[in-house]
């Protein structure tokens, strides 16, 4: 049987089921098998690897994963796609579709029930643009036993995730995801290989989970508060952003300046120039100051 991801087969499937795309679900289906195969290549899977997919659509990527993985679990929110997936994926007995919004699903429980203990697991998906960031954070914050994530998303978001300090794309999203993973953009995907065509180009990003976070900090939640505050107004200095946007610290500029200098950071710098290690030092110095302030 021909692969699902060809223009003719995709068109035939959609016509057979009278399927219409829902813009609210960010549905754009890939119609290029070469692109799909490269995405699966980047996941570096063996015949013992299990895969988690989010938003399988009509099964184009699922099919390529099923050919290489031991087992594929795919979360699909759109009930209209279930009968289509039942037909297109019928040849593959190693695929299970779960009708659920992945953001509301207990993914950890699914992993425990569906996969073997200590199994090599990769998340591989063509993510709907409108929920990319919350899905990535859910997968990482829930500390799932996965090796990594290979996902296609909007190029602009991929640029921000993989950005280095001192660049215009570097921000709180870059730091948050690089805290948990090593991030790299591995492929640019033109809009012409989708139906319907999106308005922007896409990119495939590979996130390899770190064994431990990129920097060890005293309080993880506070570290992320410091990062968010530092980027609240990009054109302002670190000092101004922290005074105006970080809660729970004394608003004494002299004291704050002293704390920054103790952390080896010039208060006149902007947040976008700091490395993740420098944010770690800054966060710990401010955390100690905050504790002293509240215990005084």
Q: Which residues are annotated as a binding site for S-adenosyl-L-methionine?
A: 28, 30, 55, 76, 101, 126
Distance CA 99, CA 3 (A): 23
The tally of CA atoms less than 13 A away on the side-chain side of residue 288 is 13
Distance CA 293, CA 259 (A): 13
- Residue partners of 132: CB distance under 8 A and separation at least 6: 151, 153, 154, 157
Is the sign of the CA dihedral 137, 143, 145, 148 positive or negative?
Answer: positive
- Residue partners of 104: CB distance under 8 A and separation at least 6: none
Q: Residue written as tokens 């955390």?
A: 287
Detail the residues annotated as belonging to a binding site.
Answer: 28, 30, 55, 76, 101, 126
Q: How many degrees, rounded to 5, is the angle at CA 74 between CA 35 and CA 130? A: 70
- Strands 181-189 and 121-126, by their bridges, are unpaired
Distance CA 197, CA 201 (A): 9
- Rounded-to-5 percentages of helix, strand, coil across the chain: 45, 15, 40
Question: Which whole-number Å values give the CA distances from 113 to 78, 89, 109, 116, in the listed order?
Answer: 23, 21, 6, 8
Burial zone of 8 (CB within 10 Å; 0-12 exposed, 13-18 middle, 19+ buried): exposed
């Amino acid at each position: 049987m021909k692969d699902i991801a060809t223009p003719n087969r995709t068109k035939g499937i959609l016509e057979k089921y009278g399927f219409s795309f829902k813009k609210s679900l960010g549905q754009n289906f890939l119609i290029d098998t070469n692109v799909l195969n490269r995405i699966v290549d980047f996941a570096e899977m063996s015949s013992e690897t299990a895969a988690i997919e989010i938003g399988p659509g009509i099964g184009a990527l699922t099919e390529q994963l099923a050919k290489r993985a031991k087992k594929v679990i795919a979360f699909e929110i759109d009930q209209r796609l279930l009968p289509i997936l039942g037909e297109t994926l019928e040849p593959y007995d190693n695929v299970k579709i779960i009708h659920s919004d992945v953001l509301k699903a207990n993914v950890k429980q699914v992993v425990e029930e569906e996969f073997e203990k200590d199994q090599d697991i990769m998340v591989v998906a063509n993510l709907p643009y409108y929920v990319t960031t919350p899905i990535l954070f859910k997968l990482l914050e829930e500390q799932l036993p996965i090796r990594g994530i290979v996902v296609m998303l909007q190029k602009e978001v991929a640029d921000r995730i993989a950005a280095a300090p001192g660049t215009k794309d570097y921000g709180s999203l870059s730091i948050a995801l690089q805290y948990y993973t090593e991030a790299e953009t591995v492929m640019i995907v033109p809009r012409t290989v989708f139906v319907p065509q999106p308005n922007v180009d896409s990119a495939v990003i590979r996130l390899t989970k770190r064994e431990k976070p990129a920097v060890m900090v005293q309080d993880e939640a506070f570290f992320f508060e410091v990062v968010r505050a530092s980027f609240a107004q990009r054109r302002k200095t670190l000092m101004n952003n922290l005074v105006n946007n970080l809660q729970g610290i004394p608003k004494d500029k002299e004291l704050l300046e002293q704390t920054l200098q103790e952390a080896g950071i010039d208060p006149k710098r902007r947040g976008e120039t700091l490395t993740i290690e420098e944010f770690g030092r800054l966060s710990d110095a401010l955390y100690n100051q905050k504790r002293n302030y509240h215990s005084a």
